[in-house]
Amino acid sequence: MTEMVYGTVPVKPGEAVLPRWWRTVDRWSLSCILMLFGAGLLLGLAASPPLAERNGLAPFHYVQRQAFFGGMALIALFLTSMMSPVMVRRLSVLGFLVAFVALALLPFLGTDFGKGAVRWYGLGFASVQPSEFLKPLFVIVVAWMMAAAQDLGGPPGRLWSFFLMVAIVLMLAMQPDFGQAALVLFGWGVMWFVGGAPMLLLIGLAGLVVLGGTFAYSNSEHFARRIDGFLSPEVDPTTQLGYATNAIREGGFFGVGVGEGQVKWSLPDAHTDFIIAVAAEEYGLILVLVIIALYTTVVVRSLVRLMRERDPFIRLAGTGLCAMVGVQAMINMGVAVRLLPAKGMTLPFVSYGGSSLIATGIAVGMLLAFTRSRPQGEIGDILRGRGR
Residue 102, pLDDT score: 95
Residue 196, pLDDT score: 83
Mean pLDDT of the chain: 86
| pLDDT at residue 33 tops 50 | yes
| pLDDT at residue 36 tops 50 | yes
> What does pTM read for this prediction?
0.89
Mean predicted confidence (pLDDT) in 220-224 = 75
Residue 236, pLDDT score: 67
Mean predicted confidence (pLDDT) in 77-103 = 96
Residue 13, pLDDT score: 63
Separation of CA 60 from chain center: 26
Q: pLDDT (tens digit, 9 = 90+) per residue, 312-363?
A: 999 999 999 999 999 999 999 998 888 888 777 889 999 988 899 999 999 9
What is the identity of the amino acid at 212?
G
Q: Are 153 and 334 in contact (CB under 8 A)?
A: no
Q: pLDDT (tens digit, 9 = 90+) per residue, 224-244?
A: 877 877 777 777 666 777 888
Mean predicted confidence (pLDDT) in 28-44 = 95
Mean predicted confidence (pLDDT) in 145-161 = 90
The domain segmentation of the chain, as residue ranges, is 15-373
Between the CA of residue 358 and those of 86, 169, 223, what are the distances in Å? 21, 22, 28
35 confidence band (pLDDT: 50, 70, 90): very high
